[in-house]
Amino acid sequence: MLDPKLIRESPELVRAAIAKKHLAVDFDAVLAADAAWRAQLQEVERLRAVQKGANAAMAALAKGSPEFAARLAEMRSVSSQVKEREAGLKAAEETCREAMLTLPNLPHASVPEGSTPEENVVYSTHGDTAAAAPGAVPHWDVPGFARLFDFERGSKVTGAGFPFFIGDGARLSRALINFFLEEGARSGYVEVSPPILVNAASATATGQLPDKEGQMYETTPDRLFAIPTAEVPLTNFYRDEILDAEALPVRRCAYTPCFRREAGSYGKDVRGLNRVHQFDKVELLKWVAPATSYDELEGLRGDAERLLVKLGLPYRILLMCGGELGFAQSKKYDLEVWAAGQRRWLEVSSCSNFEAFQARRAQIRSRSRETGRTELVHTLNGSALAVPRVLAAIIENNLEADGRVRIPPALVPHFGKSHLAFA
Count of Cβ atoms closer than 10 Å to residue 193 Cβ: 10
Cα(24)–Cα(19) distance, integer angstroms: 8
8 Å CB contact between 7 and 34: yes
In the DSSP assignment, the letter for residue 228 is S
Q: Give φ, ψ of 315 to 5 degrees.
A: -155, 165
Cα(43)–Cα(128) distance, integer angstroms: 68
Tens-of-pLDDT digits for all 423 residues of the chain?
A: 999 999 999 999 999 999 999 999 999 999 999 999 999 999 988 888 887 887 777 777 778 787 777 777 777 777 778 888 888 899 999 999 999 999 999 999 999 999 999 999 999 999 998 876 678 999 999 999 999 999 999 999 999 999 999 999 999 999 999 999 999 999 999 999 999 999 999 999 999 998 788 899 999 899 999 999 999 999 999 999 999 999 999 999 999 999 999 865 555 577 899 999 999 999 999 999 999 999 999 999 999 999 999 999 999 999 999 999 999 999 999 999 999 999 999 999 999 999 999 999 999 999 999 899 999 999 999 999 999 999 999 999 999 999 999 999 999 999 999 999 997
Cα(298)–Cα(352) distance, integer angstroms: 10
What residues does 319 pair with on adjacent strands? 121, 333
Cα(277)–Cα(261) distance, integer angstroms: 6
Count of Cβ atoms closer than 10 Å to residue 129 Cβ: 16
Cα(396)–Cα(181) distance, integer angstroms: 24
